[in-house]
Amino acid sequence: MRRKAVGQWLVIGVGAGILAGCGGPRGPEPISHGMTAGQVQAEILARVRNWHVVSEHVTLSLTENGMRQAYSASLTDQVNPPLFSMQVTPVTGAPYEVVDNGLNTVLYQPGSSHYAIEPASPMPWRWFQLAAGDFPQMLASSRAVGVTVKPKVAVLTLNTPIAPNIQARTEVWFNLETNTPMRWESSWSGNSLTLIPSHVEVNASGGIGGFTPPTGVTPMVMPSGAVDGYLPPPGPVMLRDAVNFPLVLPPAGMPLALNAIQTDANTSPETLVLTYMTPNGTPVVITESRRTGFTPPPGVPVITENVGALTVMTGVLPEGVNLAALTLGHTLVVVEGPQNVVENLLTAWANSVTASPSITGG
């Protein structure tokens, strides 16, 4: 789905292809000794092809170029629309939180005064997802080359495309009682990856939410590619500012969860588009830039009014979405959303900030 945010298109939601080319769905049959590797692969796929949301604890060990990294994490991985939330505890270093919607990634270290936003999903979190939401598609895209069937466990040997340009030899231990993976081991070019999931829960009700910043925590925007390597360390290295104007957030206490962010540092002036979601799933779009004036979209009448000490231009877009534009500090802020949410944001900002010069059309 696309909607036209003022000044640019904002893509809300990213499609995910699942199990293309694996044939129509069918019910699973018993897995037994004597089956071929391909037969066991097909039977496991029949058990996992309808995974939508996976929650689990996982330990991860990655050895690459002679360097070993180890982590434990609790994660929830939603397949479609893609949304991924994880609390990571490195063996060395401070824990941090990751929220990734397939378009943008939020990284937050508890106790930090900022959270980092990267405009494009980085590779690192793919490792954690191999035994979670990516498991069905990863299994479907692999070639089965060997199998051992035990009373309660099937061990598949696969050739697996675990990452772009990486074909790995993989062994997957699959629990035949719970129909969930128990262990994932991949090796390639002298490197290795081991995942051990536990407490796996599939398609639980309740879904998964976005990232809601703690009170007083503000964002820093990362340019695409700012994180180097596979698993970035938490801390100041993640907080590289990609815009040159003050960011404006919904005040603490507003029931809005950050869903996506887009930034284009190549435009003049730079523009930042943040999408939030209300508790009932209605989007609220906040477009920010360093501008001196606001020009409403063609055909949209606006009026100028005062909200507290703020001077605000308001109107209604053709699709019935309310629009408000104001200047806070040196930042032009344009809000699109339901009338009550827009009004509450304006009132909260008026109560918490010093008014800036009035906005004039231009």
**Residue ranges per structural domain of the chain:** 21-202, 254-362
Residue 269 to residues 56, 121, 157, 261, 332, Cα–Cα distance (Å): 43, 24, 53, 17, 11
pLDDT value of position 255: 82
The pLDDT of residue 82 is above 60:
yes
CATH architecture observed for domain 254-362? 3-Layer(aba) Sandwich (3.40)
pLDDT value of position 241: 44
CA distance 110 to 87: 10
pLDDT band at 104 (very low <50, low <70, confident <90, very high): low
Lowest mean pLDDT: which of 30-34, 93-97, 123-127, 242-246?
242-246
Tokens of 76: 């929830």
More confident residue, 10 or 128: 128
Report CA Rg, the chain: 24
Instruction: Kindly report the CATH class assigned to 21-202.
Output: mainly beta
What SS3 class is residue 343? helix
Instruction: Find out whether 202 and 73 touch, Cβ atoms under 8 Å.
Output: no
Q: What is the pTM of this model?
A: 0.61
User: Which position has the token pair 């051990």?
Assistant: 196
CA distance 153 to 164: 30
User: Which position has the token pair 């692999």?
Assistant: 142
More confident residue, 313 or 65: 313
- 219's CB contacts (< 8 A; 6+ apart) are 114, 115, 116, 117, 213, 247, 249, 261
Instruction: Find out whether 211 and 108 touch, Cβ atoms under 8 Å.
Output: yes
Cα torsion through 291, 294, 295, 299, rounded to 10: 150
User: One-letter amino acid identity for 102?
Assistant: G
- The percentage of residues in the chain with a pLDDT greater than 90, rounded to a whole number, is 40
In Å, the largest CA–CA distance within the chain is 78
The pLDDT of residue 123 is above 80:
no
